[in-house]
Structure 1
């Protein structure tokens, strides 16, 4: 057997494997003898058919199977011996159907294309700079949150006359045509000029307006029209008020506190405000942690300057998902895949070099944290904790065990990022929630 490597570039190569008769024939002969012992061929007792007849009937298929097995084992062994890191899977260079004569040929040549990266280097020192963000929960954010909670948990009433923050329920009709729809219209979702027409109304009042007075997004968000209905919305419309809905803000009392945080968790307005601030800070700490980690990933990926074999990987992705994706799909999704692959290579290299490993106990702890977050507002409390082992076990066994592997990878990534933050030049920066939203939009 002869195996040769031909590098076409810094990240793509071809591997040629030549098999001689001595490489495969002993295994083929052994398999033929085994077949002959078991073969049931018409006209012969089981196992008594001539070996030549068995060879004529099964020889080619056995030869093909054995050569494929030898190729697979040889290729895998050869690649494990290399210093570079293989990406994807080797792709066989296809030959014409009649290029191999399985009946008479003695020497066989095969070729594979491979993509790889030769060395992953990550500098975890002061030369790598990143920002650690923390979101400040200020009074404005606290007050907005409390106002939203008061509105959310307020009492619904049906007043006689509509006001600016009400929602009016009624029938929308087009003056021309048969269009008619019954809906609840939130007045705060309308522009000022149009909303003014709906203020000070009582039941059975009729509002007339022109389609041009409604902004496009208001048709979908406030009136709830479909794209098709919006495209046909022209001319004059009328809205007949059938009811007026108003939500009166909840009072800051013990009943309200208990609804938000559970019985007797807080017992005064001061404690309630402090608890809201604490809850918001915990939530935004998680968000800023995730954002910081994603930004750090970008820095490490950029600094590593890995040269991926893009052409090879696109071809491999297309063939590996044959029939499921098109070339256009691969082209569109490849930038995301390339970033994920690059980060995976970097993370694994850091973990290997610095002996960072995710333990089973870490996986359990992270899964428990995920379950608690999912059920945070359920009110289950002690019942959840009593059943925690069951929830965790069911989740980690789900998706044929893939959930466990995903969680294991997530834990390792977190450990790698935490380690990286200790080693690099990390500048801490406090920002407001508005500044944070601006960063997310970039």
Structure 2
């Protein structure tokens, strides 16, 4: 096996391979022997088919398969031994590809294009300034957070009379212009809807003061102009909605009203651990802490965006663009058009440049993520998932099982590692740059995000 590399320029190279008979002969022979053990053919006992027949039937495909394996193995070994860093994967050179006579050739030559990873330095210092925003907490944020909790822990209660935007459950029956039930008309039982979504104010007024078993005749098209919504209520196909007579009678079977949760010790114990919050004053302090954490997360996100922009602008990273476009086409099995590639490539290039910058920082500063950190993250993630469903007192073994299940998925585990490496990279950047701290209102901060 002979492998040589010829650099086209700083970012592109051609890898030339020459595969001799001695490189593959024994491997092909061994594979043919394994095939022979399992080949079944009329007139021969299993494993007794003559070697010549097996070779005639399978020799060519085995030769191709073994040479492809050798090429893959040797390229990988060569790149590792020579410490050559590439982007994407080696691609067969289109200009030198030649017809191969697999039946008669004994020596095979191949050429592959390489996209070389660029060499660059990442120098970060206090001369690099990145804004760090401190979003101010106001009373409206506290009130809105309390309102969200009141709704989140609220309940549906049965009521006797319609007074506002209750949720109704009942039966629809189609009627004629005189209000008589159409015997062959459309009917739907146990349909539910909220008066809040009803669009016609005059029809909405007809429901005020009504009780269970009361009836209301109305035009369903005016009340529910959305075809999908109306089709679901009447249990008919969407294409029938536009052609039906819209007059219906609705018989009320159930009236429900959403009641917000009351802030008391019972709710506080449900939201937090028992006896952590005792009164509204302590609850307000808890809310402030939560709002502060949420705003700090928003601020941290903006810092990452700005830090990335700063480094992307400062660090010059050149890429083998034409090679990468060919590679994207190859891995998508030509299911992507050249127009799509040209449109989406700039974002791909930016993401790749940033990944290379991150990798350089990780290598230069010996940043590590330990397995224990990954387990801690998985446990914290599990706890967060349970809390989203209102479960705060989760047994430790249940958290551990959830976290272990998460880490058993290799894709999820890799995502956690990537997340932790990214966090450590930004922590390192924060230590080196000058953070320009600025106080700002949430409204102005959101405008910055939109820009």
- For Structure 1 versus Structure 2, the TM-score category normalised by the shorter chain is 0.7 to 0.9
Structure 1 residues 334 and 369, CA gap change in structure 2 (3 angstroms) = farther
d(CA) in 2 for partners of 1:145 and 1:270? Answer: 15
d(CA) in 1 for partners of 2:406 and 2:132? Answer: 32
Using the TM superposition, give the Cα deviation of residue 360 of structure 1 relative to its aligned residue in structure 2, in angstroms.
Answer: 1.8
Using the TM superposition, give the Cα deviation of residue 416 of structure 1 relative to its aligned residue in structure 2, in angstroms.
Answer: 0.5
1:406 corresponding residue in structure 2: 415
d(CA) in 2 for partners of 1:245 and 1:350? Answer: 58
d(CA) in 2 for partners of 1:272 and 1:379? Answer: 17
Give yes or no for contact 2:158–2:255 (8 Å, CA) kept in 1: yes
Deviations 1:315-367 (A, max 9, x none): 434433549x5548974765665444333222111111111111222212222
2:437 corresponding residue in structure 1: 428
Task: Find the partner of 1:206 among 199, 216, 220.
Answer: 216
Using the TM superposition, give the Cα deviation of residue 78 of structure 1 relative to its aligned residue in structure 2, in angstroms.
Answer: 4.4
d(CA) in 1 for partners of 2:217 and 2:440? Answer: 46
Give yes or no for contact 2:126–2:432 (8 Å, CA) kept in 1: yes
d(CA) in 2 for partners of 1:334 and 1:226? Answer: 46
2:40 corresponding residue in structure 1: none
The reply to whether residue 184 of structure 1 matches residue 192 of structure 2 is yes
Using the TM superposition, give the Cα deviation of residue 76 of structure 1 relative to its aligned residue in structure 2, in angstroms.
Answer: 3.2
Structure 1 residues 26 and 246, CA gap change in structure 2 (3 angstroms) = closer
The reply to whether residue 356 of structure 1 matches residue 364 of structure 2 is no
1:101 corresponding residue in structure 2: 101
Q: Structure 1: where are the runs of 5+ without partners?
A: none
The reply to whether residue 251 of structure 1 matches residue 259 of structure 2 is no
Structure 1 residues 174 and 127, CA gap change in structure 2 (3 angstroms) = farther
Using the TM superposition, give the Cα deviation of residue 100 of structure 1 relative to its aligned residue in structure 2, in angstroms.
Answer: 2.2
SS of the equivalent of 1:408 reads helix
SS of the equivalent of 2:287 reads helix
d(CA) in 2 for partners of 1:441 and 1:175? Answer: 51
Deviations 1:381-420 (A, max 9, x none): 5653355444433321x22x34333322221111001111
- 263-272 or 190-199, which deviates more: 190-199
Using the TM superposition, give the Cα deviation of residue 233 of structure 1 relative to its aligned residue in structure 2, in angstroms.
Answer: 8.2
Give yes or no for contact 2:21–2:107 (8 Å, CA) kept in 1: no
1:92 corresponding residue in structure 2: 92
2:115 corresponding residue in structure 1: 115
d(CA) in 2 for partners of 1:127 and 1:345? Answer: 22
Give yes or no for contact 2:206–2:216 (8 Å, CA) kept in 1: no
Structure 1 residues 217 and 113, CA gap change in structure 2 (3 angstroms) = farther
d(CA) in 1 for partners of 2:157 and 2:30? Answer: 86
Using the TM superposition, give the Cα deviation of residue 422 of structure 1 relative to its aligned residue in structure 2, in angstroms.
Answer: 1.9
Using the TM superposition, give the Cα deviation of residue 129 of structure 1 relative to its aligned residue in structure 2, in angstroms.
Answer: 4.0
Give yes or no for contact 2:124–2:433 (8 Å, CA) kept in 1: yes
CA-based RMSD: 4.8
2:205 corresponding residue in structure 1: 197
Task: Find the partner of 1:289 among 300, 306, 326.
Answer: 300
Compute the TM-score of the two structures, normalised by the length of structure 2: 0.73
Task: Find the partner of 2:282 among 267, 271, 295.
Answer: 271
d(CA) in 2 for partners of 1:260 and 1:245? Answer: 25
d(CA) in 2 for partners of 1:195 and 1:431? Answer: 46
SS of the equivalent of 1:184 reads strand
1:163 corresponding residue in structure 2: 163
Give yes or no for contact 2:172–2:234 (8 Å, CA) kept in 1: no
1:393 corresponding residue in structure 2: 404
d(CA) in 2 for partners of 1:362 and 1:63? Answer: 47
2:291 corresponding residue in structure 1: 280
d(CA) in 2 for partners of 1:244 and 1:430? Answer: 49
Deviations 1:132-171 (A, max 9, x none): 3444442112212223333444454444443334334445
Structure 1 residues 27 and 180, CA gap change in structure 2 (3 angstroms) = same
Task: Find the partner of 2:238 among 221, 228, 232.
Answer: 228
Structure 1 residues 231 and 288, CA gap change in structure 2 (3 angstroms) = farther
Give yes or no for contact 2:3–2:15 (8 Å, CA) kept in 1: no
Compute the TM-score of the two structures, normalised by the length of structure 1: 0.74
> In the comparison of the two structures, how many residue pairs are matched?
429
SS of the equivalent of 2:437 reads strand
Using the TM superposition, give the Cα deviation of residue 37 of structure 1 relative to its aligned residue in structure 2, in angstroms.
Answer: 10
Structure 1 residues 353 and 380, CA gap change in structure 2 (3 angstroms) = same
Using the TM superposition, give the Cα deviation of residue 286 of structure 1 relative to its aligned residue in structure 2, in angstroms.
Answer: 3.4
d(CA) in 2 for partners of 1:53 and 1:155? Answer: 77
Task: Find the partner of 2:323 among 306, 312, 327.
Answer: 312
d(CA) in 2 for partners of 1:248 and 1:55? Answer: 79
Give yes or no for contact 2:369–2:420 (8 Å, CA) kept in 1: yes
- 64-73 or 54-63, which deviates more: 54-63
1:14 corresponding residue in structure 2: 14
Give yes or no for contact 1:219–1:225 (8 Å, CA) kept in 2: no
2:179 corresponding residue in structure 1: none
